[in-house]
């Protein structure tokens, strides 16, 4: 019998598995997919590491988390500086002086601030009733129309006038010429790819891929004293209370016989008519100089149970349903739920690592081993 059975080999499961093994516990990891690593898994082709499940840029202001992941792999100096493509017009993101200069021809921060203030005033929105009104009240009509509206409607599969205002609490606006998307102190891509990070975390631990724990629950349930479950919480309980909603994604990757296709790792397509939300050119994450390149078109998709879940639909109905599932989870003996799917939460990668470290520290303290 193992001390721990970890269901899922993504970042959360891998960190918990590593920490438990380091504490002297026996650990078995089950992974439903044919590979370990969850959504950070990369596939290498022609010396280029392809982010199979969308762009992943590690960023954090938590030095403890940064130092932790750097124990397993060194990170490069990549800075996320995406570009927005609106019908062939290119704008820097996040919204900054480069964006405002291109859009309005303004030169100074004062001119940019005045332009935004003017558009907000002209809109006359005092109590936003939906996402569209909320965005316009924050940033004005031009930026909303060109850089927010179409992208958001594609991502959520609904019109902005049908989405709740609380989805956008604030919009980052910088009155400096700074294209760094994140404000965090630390940022980069693992040198050698995310597989190297996962491999380091799971070194010396048995991982069984291609195993769906929920379909073989009776076989595996008695194999460990404690189970750490990182899959969808509603699926664990057989959807007995209803189905939590997600947005899905679909990826199309192609090899191009050119050295440099778009000059940036991530380009967002913000008009409504272009069916994909962004194109990722993977080699730029690691400053590749290969004679060929790989690009991935990322399409938003409606989601059905059994498909890969990406973004939780954060509305009142789903949050209330998750709370009921969380109550059921709290009653499960010797089962710990953690990670983005088990907690129905959008996590950045540093949040996943931090949460996993907190969970393992708690397990060690209460001796649930």
What are residue 42's DSSP bridge partners?
A: 51
Let me know: does 91 contact 103? Beta carbons within 8 Å. Answer: yes
- The Cα-based distances of 339 to 13, 116, 232, 328, 344 in angstroms read 8, 39, 9, 17, 8
Give the 3-state secondary structure percentages of the chain, helix then strand then coil, rounded to 5: 35, 20, 40
Residues of the chain under the 50 pLDDT cut = 368-369
Backbone φ and ψ for 14, nearest 5 degrees, come out as -65, -40
First and final C-alpha spacing in the chain: 12
Check: CB of residue 85 under 8 Å from CB of residue 266.
Answer: no
Q: Is 297 helix (H, G, I), strand (E, B) or coil?
A: strand
Q: pTM of the entire structure? A: 0.94
Cα separation, 159 vs 150, in Å, equals 9
Residue 307: DSSP 8-state: S
What pLDDT is stored for residue 171 in this prediction? 79
Q: Residues 162-176: pLDDT tens digits?
A: 988 888 877 788 999
Rounded Cα distance, 328 and 196, in Å: 36
Residue 166 has, within 13 A of its CA and on its CB side, a CA count of 4
Provide the pLDDT for residue 369: 44
Residues designated as active site: 170, 174, 247, 278, 298, 346, 348
Q: How buried is residue 325: exposed, middle or buried, by Cβ count under 10 Å (0-12/13-18/19+)?
A: buried
- Contacts of residue 67, Cβ cutoff 8 Å, sequence gap at least 6: none
Cis upstream peptide for 94 (omega within 30°): yes
What are the φ/ψ torsions at residue 216 (nearest 5 degrees)?
-125, 35
Domains of the chain (ranges plus CATH)?
2-36+202-243+312-366 (3.40.50.720), 42-62+71-93+179-190+246-302 (no CATH), 96-167 (no CATH)
Torsion-angle region of residue 49: left (phi > 0), alpha (psi -120 to 50) or beta? beta
Tell me the C-alpha distance between 36 and 206, whole Å: 11
Rounded-to-integer distance, Cα 116 and Cα 242, Å = 43
> What is the structure's pLDDT at 169?
76
CA 337 – CA 358 distance, rounded (Å): 13
Alpha-carbon span 164 to 126, nearest angstrom: 15
| 18: phi then psi, degrees, rounded to nearest 5 | -60, -45
């Amino acid at each position: 019998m193992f001390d721990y059975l970890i269901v899922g080999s993504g970042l959360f499961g891998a960190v918990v598995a590593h920490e438990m093994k380091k504490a002297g516990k026996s650990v078995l990891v089950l992974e439903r997919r044919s590979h370990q690593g969850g959504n950070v898994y990369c596939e290498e082709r022609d010396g280029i590491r392809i982010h199979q499940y969308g762009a992943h840029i590690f960023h954090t202001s938590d030095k403890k988390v940064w130092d932790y992941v750097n124990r397993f792999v060194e990170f490069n100096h990549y800075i996320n500086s995406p570009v927005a493509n609106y019908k062939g017009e290119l704008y820097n993101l996040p919204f900054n002086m480069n964006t405002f200069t291109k859009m309005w021809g303004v030169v100074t921060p004062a001119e940019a601030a005045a332009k935004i203030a003017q558009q907000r005033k002209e809109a006359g929105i005092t109590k936003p009733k939906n996402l569209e009104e909320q965005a316009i009240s924050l940033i004005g009509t031009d930026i909303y129309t060109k850089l927010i509206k179409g992208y958001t409607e594609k991502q959520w599969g609904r019109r902005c006038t049908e989405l709740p205002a609380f989805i956008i609490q604030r919009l980052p606006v910088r009155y400096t010429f700074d294209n760094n998307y994140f404000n965090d102190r630390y940022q980069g891509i693992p040198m050698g790819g995310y597989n190297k990070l996962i491999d380091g975390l799971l070194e010396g631990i048995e991982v069984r891929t291609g195993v769906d724990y929920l379909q073989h629950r009776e076989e595996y349930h008695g194999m460990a004293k404690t189970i750490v479950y990182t899959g969808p919480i509603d699926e664990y309980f057989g959807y007995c209370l209803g189905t939590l909603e997600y947005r899905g994604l679909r990826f199309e990757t192609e090899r191009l016989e050119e050295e440099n296709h778009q000059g940036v790792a991530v380009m967002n397509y913000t008009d409504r008519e272009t069916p994909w939300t962004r194109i990722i050119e993977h080699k730029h994450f690691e400053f590749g100089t290969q004679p060929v390149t790989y690009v991935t078109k990322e399409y938003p998709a409606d989601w059905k149970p059994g498909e890969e879940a990406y973004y939780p639909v954060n509305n009142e109905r789903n949050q209330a349903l998750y709370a009921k599932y969380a109550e059921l989870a709290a009653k499960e003996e010797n089962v710990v739920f953690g990670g983005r799917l088990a907690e129905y939460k959008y996590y950045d990668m540093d949040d996943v690592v931090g949460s996993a470290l907190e969970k393992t520290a708690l397990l060690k303290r209460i001796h649930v081993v």
